Amino acid sequence: MRSASEPAGEVEGDQGEAEPRLNRVRLLLVAIGLIGAVALDFLSRSPNRLLSGQPVPWGVIIEGGRIVAFAPAVVILVGIFMPGRRGLHLAVALAAAILAASLLWLAGDAALRLFDPAAPAARTSFGGAFWILEAATVLIAADAMQRLGLSPAARLAAGLALTLPTLAVLFLGGADSLSILKEYANRREVFAEAVLRHIQIVGATLVPTLLIGIPLGIAAFRSARLRGPLFAVLNVIQTIPSIALFGLLIAPLSGLVAIAPALGALGISGIGATPAIIALTLYSLLPIARSTAAGLEQVPVSAVDAATGMGMTRGQIFRSVQAPLALPVLLAGLRVTVVQAVGMTAVAALIGAGGLGAIIFQGLAASALDLVLLGVVPLVALAVAADVLLKLAISMMRRNAA
């Protein structure tokens, strides 16, 4: 029962936490989605991949009763004004996942109906309204999952389950007539190689970053005199534009290979993956070193004193007390590093490193927006996946430590 002192308009959820009756987050996201749907095009159709397209009217997209694809939106609208209950949050999350898949199916279905065998080069592409509506539904699902209060592992499992409707549309061919899927079909092998190359560069960057950054962070924690100059140098490196740093490494690496040709046989050269990995490592040192030092600084002095009282040596205290307690903060720095490396590796394609950036720049050079998106969409997916997995690891560690 609500007490007299409880603010009006709030109720007790199933978890005992008071939630506003009006869900402002959902209201805002729905408003953004509606504005995007009215102001922008959901789909556009062009004579070929290079020319600008003309908007496809909503009447064509939803003709024949296809407006029923928006039925899950009713649950989301109800969820704005109903009290926050676990069952409602679960229903909203499911509705948002189904709506996201329905939007993709609507686009693919319209592209299939607009296909003209007499104009095989014609393309149907996503418009701005599609991306805004998809983003709004994904954020609504994420908000509902957050309010369910699930454990980190359960949240990850539920999140993967919510992607199943969209994956079903993709794998059953419901979107194959869209331009971006045609670009994928034409470059299937190149796309797979680009994704693998991108992951390899990011993975190869993390090895030297951790081997160098963690010792630097430990040194900064133990020596106040070293901390200032070290972080000043790493901050200066961060201020150098990525493309400039990539370019600065070309000449010295080329000269090094000229002096020692054997390095060329190892794959080292002035262009390609080597300067990309070196530059990305230099950029990644600051978040790793700073998070290592910050993690060690937040270890309670009482824990170190207790370990000292038990007769532990300095090395035993570091391995058994300080390092485990500092690990969540170090992982937070690693999360920033990985997400940053995933994004900056795309720029490394300009010096021949390959990866998804190569597809993006090919699309930009050819003014082919769908080819650009073929590189951008998996790039964003990789960054989000890395962020979610490392956040999950941090949450599990903090929960176990509590």
User: What pLDDT score was predicted for residue 3?
Assistant: 42
User: What pLDDT score was predicted for residue 14?
Assistant: 45
User: What pLDDT score was predicted for residue 402?
Assistant: 63
Phi-psi region of 352 (alpha: psi -120 to 50; beta: other; left: phi over 0): left
- Mean pLDDT, rounded, for 180-198: 92
What is the spatial distance between Cα 46 and Cα 41, in angstroms, rounded to a whole number?
13
- Using alpha carbons, select from 130, 95, 128, 94 the residue that is nearest to residue 110: 130
User: What pLDDT score was predicted for residue 267?
Assistant: 72
Q: Which two tokens stand for residue 242?
A: 């990525």
- DSSP one-letter string for 114-154: H--TT-TT-EEEE-HHHHHHHHHHHHHHHHHHHHHT--HHH
Q: pLDDT tens across 287-327, in order? A: 999 999 999 999 998 988 898 888 888 889 988 899 889 99
Strand pairing category for 123-126 and 43-46: antiparallel
Through-space distance between the first and last CA atoms of the chain, rounded to whole angstroms = 32
Lowest mean pLDDT among 3-12, 116-125, 169-178, 230-239: 3-12
User: What pLDDT score was predicted for residue 1?
Assistant: 39
What pLDDT band is residue 194 in, cutting at 50, 70 and 90? Answer: very high
Question: In this structure, what are the phi and psi dihedrals at residue 261, rounded to the nearest 5 degrees?
Answer: -60, -25
Single pTM value for the model: 0.82
Q: pLDDT tens across 70-82, in order? A: 999 999 999 888 7
What is the spatial distance between Cα 161 and Cα 191, in angstroms, rounded to a whole number?
25
Query: Per-residue pLDDT for 190 more than 50?
Result: yes
The length of the chain in residues reads 402
Q: pLDDT tens across 158-174, in order? A: 888 999 999 999 999 99
What is the spatial distance between Cα 372 and Cα 351, in angstroms, rounded to a whole number?
18
Four-CA torsion 154, 157, 163, 165, nearest 10 degrees: -90
Burial grade of 341 (CB within 10 A; 0-12, 13-18, 19 or more): buried
Query: Per-residue pLDDT for 38 more than 90?
Result: yes
User: What pLDDT score was predicted for residue 269?
Assistant: 76
What is the spatial distance between Cα 144 and Cα 90, in angstroms, rounded to a whole number?
7
Q: pLDDT tens across 99-112, in order? A: 999 999 999 999 99
